[in-house]
Structure 1
């Protein structure tokens, strides 16, 4: 009798321990309600089989297309706690790259909502680590490994660059808002991943585009988001921006564009993004 009781007690303790280190995917018998304020995290959540539990996303959550049907809470840099709380989530997932303001994070925490932050390192290894960490956290390791295998397979097929070129990313929202990407940005990391280099190396983050700095950098290829290129009226419109036409990229009309989230997400589609950029650059 005592032995049976001991086994039952030990089993009960193991169950309690297991669930104490893993998040419950339901609350009071109802599916956990999740708000994601990062496009890459949203994409991974879908890959883990949790799309039906996502009740809100930020505007960078554009893939898969089914996320368009989910309520938006704004851009991760300008999200308000009120917009998130209106969706009555049980959990808010954020990336350390999202730059959700400390004030908003504190407001959410004070209401009893669980805010979970995942570290996102912008590299092949960092992407794989992020997917596995989210898979472990949400008890979906099998689904996570499927995504990891896809990333590894796609990147293994990535051809080596025939010759290293200087690439310059321009963030555009009309000709009135033109910024260039410096070191340690997602674009800088992507350029390195495909065997090319950033045309500017004297600053980090983003700075306003000037004709002087543009000519000094003299990029071989200009890279923009598809939406950004559209905002300046396409390639011909971009060539009218002072200095562009005098660069090697401008003279050769070597201007490429890609979907913004695909290009900078460093998520499950990293290999596909790298392959597409590499092909367009060549």
Structure 2
């Protein structure tokens, strides 16, 4: 049985066997695997979804994408899972992996188009251009990029949050807060909405000390609206004394949004800016 999740250790002979069953590559590609929720959203927005044969776990929008085979989490792919759907093109966000699997896929000579990541307006447009070029529809890409740019510009122009301080909490680990600093999707979307990231001085996601949380003194705490083991309840959040002492906790200013909408930096970024700014405006009124 072919495993679809986790890091796969497969031999060159196994790869050869899987490839022997694959059809000859089409030109243009007609059996595409999309890796990364933002990439999948762009494929659908370009009207090219009929060419998709599989997607990764983060590709949860639009809802129709969920009907496609799931070949695993974007950073924990298995070569077996990808090859099992006989793709003739792999569209992958920069940072997909693990590297060993991508190296193995490159050895199969299946084209792998890497889509650049980034957390601002320019990055969204670059993603759209890269996906459209890989799909052979650059004119459609230029049109979509123009529409998305206009939506982002309109959303940004309509925000007025007065520098409200927001702490983005990605997860709780061992009773500590994993928060988003600079050069993260969380920081990028806060910047576009005109809100202030309550933490600075570090890049990426970092576990905060109690002192750092108290110094940050966020007006609002923002999280993804996750389910299952990834869900962070208010009870779990307020069990951390430093969080309970923040202005956000004292006023009950806790927000949750769909993670892919909030952090995806794809075709819905204008919508994300508008929704987040409206929620932030209401919660402070």
TM over 0.5: yes
Give the TM-score normalised by structure 2: 0.82
Query: Aligned to 1:193, what secondary structure does the other structure show?
Result: helix
Q: Which position in structure 2 is the counterpart of 1:108?
A: 105
Q: In the TM superposition, what is the alpha-carbon distance from 1:211 to its structure 2 partner?
A: 2.6
Match of 1:66 among 64, 67, 72: 64
Q: Which position in structure 1 is the counterpart of 2:205?
A: 206
The total of aligned residue pairs comes to 256
Describe the superposition over 1:59-81 as per-residue Cα deviations: whole angstroms up to 9, x where unpaired. Answer: 11011000111111111111111
Q: Which position in structure 2 is the counterpart of 1:76?
A: 74
The answer to whether the 8 A contact 2:32-2:91 is kept is yes
The answer to whether the 8 A contact 1:57-1:72 is kept is yes
Give the TM-score normalised by structure 1: 0.83
Cα gap change, 1:232 to 1:198, in 2 (>3 Å) = same
Q: Which moved more, 1:175-184 or 1:215-224?
A: 175-184
Q: Which position in structure 2 is the counterpart of 1:150?
A: 147
Q: In the TM superposition, what is the alpha-carbon distance from 1:144 to its structure 2 partner?
A: 2.4
Separation in 1, partners of 2:230, 2:115: 33
Structure 1: tracts of 5 or more residues without a match: 1-25
- Note if 1:240 corresponds to 2:246: no
Q: Which position in structure 2 is the counterpart of 1:21?
A: none
> Aligned Cα RMSD in Å?
2.4
In the TM superposition, 1:28-177 aligns within 5 A as 32-96=30-94, 98-158=95-155, 159-172=158-171
Q: In the TM superposition, what is the alpha-carbon distance from 1:202 to its structure 2 partner?
A: 1.8
Cα gap change, 1:231 to 1:28, in 2 (>3 Å) = closer
Describe the superposition over 1:13-70 as per-residue Cα deviations: whole angstroms up to 9, x where unpaired. Answer: xxxxxxxxxxxxx945896211111111111111122212211111110110001111
Structure 2: tracts of 5 or more residues without a match: 1-23
Work out which of the two has the higher radius of gyration on C-alpha atoms and give 1 or 2: 1
Cα gap change, 1:238 to 1:232, in 2 (>3 Å) = farther
Q: Which position in structure 2 is the counterpart of 1:184?
A: 183
